[in-house]
Amino acid sequence: MRDFNNQSIVITGAGSGLGKATALRFARAGWSIAVADLNQKRGEVTVDEITLLGGTAFFQRCDVAKLEDIQALHEACEQRWGGVDVLVNNAGIASSIGPIDHVSMEEWQRIIDINLMGVVRGCHVFSGPMKKRGSGHIVNIASIAGITSTPMLASYNAAKAAVIALSETLRWELKDKNMGVTVVCPALFPTNLTESIQVSGGVQQAMVKKEMAKSKLSADDIAGAIYDAVLVNKFMLLPHKATRLQWWLKRLSPDMYQWFYSRQTAKKKPGK
């Protein structure tokens, strides 16, 4: 088990879903939490819940698509704690579902700017001071989509795959600086992620919610796994059992993986 200087953690997108669950998990262990979120009301509710647990937290409004917001978040943490032990780049959005020729370039830019560059900005701003202090840990929330490359989700898959590649790079860059990296690749689980799908009619939202409901893991379960991964410096975190099989099968034989899961997808189509 690892020791940290002052047990302080920054979590983007901590107003709801996995970000909130992670904030509460670390708060129960006595950590001080910087709750960063674009939604002030939800972020302040998270802070209130941490306070009720007897923990310490503050809210900072943060749009991860803006470098100045990330910089302001870091400065606020420096003023309060004199440094940060753990950064969790959690904030993200869902993409529209559709073939690549139907998804607009604006949608691609939106997904890349938040799901990838939001993580890049966080790593860029926080990693330097961590290196100077000689300790720290970065948690990047990716997705099993970055490994499985599910059809009709090209922009989301590409952004999450890039987050995995970024995390692998940082793992080697920061190893000699006494810093750890964890990349989290969950499957779908119940959250409010569907709120960010910019498609009218609600059909895509309903499809995603249906898949979320099948998960045997909750946000609290995954948050607990993140907490454990940070303490033991675990790199690849695949919380869902089925995703661990997918990961190993694809590493063993990409062609076998595609054949197998193409058959599984075909069985789920109407009439099958």
Q: Concatenated DSSP letters for 211-245?
A: HHTT-S--HHHHHHHHHHHHHHT--EE--SHHHHH
How many folded domains does the chain comprise? 2
Which 3 state secondary structure label does DSSP give 62? coil
Provide the Cα torsion 41, 6, 52, 1; round to 10°: 110
Say if 3 falls within a structural domain: no
Q: Do 134 and 268 have their domain in common?
A: no
- Give mean pLDDT, residues 63-77: 98
Q: Do 101 and 221 have their domain in common?
A: yes
Q: Do 180 and 258 have their domain in common?
A: no
Say if 45 falls within a structural domain: yes
Domain that residue 257 falls in: 242-272
| Residue that is written with structure tokens 């100077």 in the block | 132
In degrees rounded to 5, what are phi and psi of residue 34? -100, 110
| Residue that is written with structure tokens 């189509």 in the block | 269
Q: Place 190 in a pLDDT band, splitting at 50, 70 and 90.
A: low
| CATH code of the domain covering residue 23 | 3.40.50.720
Q: Is 261 a catalytic residue?
A: no
Residue with the larger pLDDT of the pair 106 and 204: 106
Q: Do 247 and 166 have their domain in common?
A: no
Say if 167 falls within a structural domain: yes
Q: What is the pLDDT of residues 113-165, one digit of tens each?
A: 999 999 999 999 999 999 999 999 999 999 999 998 888 899 999 999 999 99
Q: Do residues 39 and 15 touch, judged by C-beta distance below 8 A?
A: yes
Q: pTM for the whole thing?
A: 0.88
- pLDDT given at position 217: 82
Name the catalytic one among 156, 227, 257, 261: 156
CA distance 117 to 115: 6
Q: Give the other-Cβ count within 10 Å of 55's Cβ.
A: 19
CA distance 52 to 194: 29
Say if 145 falls within a structural domain: yes
Which 3 state secondary structure label does DSSP give 46? helix
% of the chain exceeding 90 in pLDDT: 70
Q: Do 80 and 52 have their domain in common?
A: yes
| Residue that is written with structure tokens 């991964």 in the block | 229
Which 3 state secondary structure label does DSSP give 169? helix
In degrees rounded to 5, what are phi and psi of residue 132? -65, -35
Q: Do 20 and 108 have their domain in common?
A: yes
Q: Do 180 and 58 have their domain in common?
A: yes
Say if 1 falls within a structural domain: no
At 105, which amino acid appears?
A: M
CA distance 182 to 137: 8
Q: What is the pLDDT of residues 18-65, one digit of tens each?
A: 999 999 999 999 999 999 999 999 999 999 999 999 999 999 999 999
Say if 116 falls within a structural domain: yes
Q: Place 202 in a pLDDT band, splitting at 50, 70 and 90.
A: low
Q: Do 29 and 152 have their domain in common?
A: yes
CA distance 179 to 233: 9
| Residue that is written with structure tokens 């919610």 in the block | 209
Q: Do 176 and 259 have their domain in common?
A: no
Say if 193 falls within a structural domain: yes
Say if 119 falls within a structural domain: yes
Q: Do 46 and 147 have their domain in common?
A: yes
Q: Do 226 and 266 have their domain in common?
A: no
Q: Do residues 186 and 240 touch, judged by C-beta distance below 8 A?
A: yes
pLDDT at 248 over 50: yes
Q: Who's near 9: CB < 8 A, 6+ residues apart?
A: 23, 26, 31, 32, 33, 34, 84, 85, 86, 87, 88
Q: Do 141 and 180 have their domain in common?
A: yes
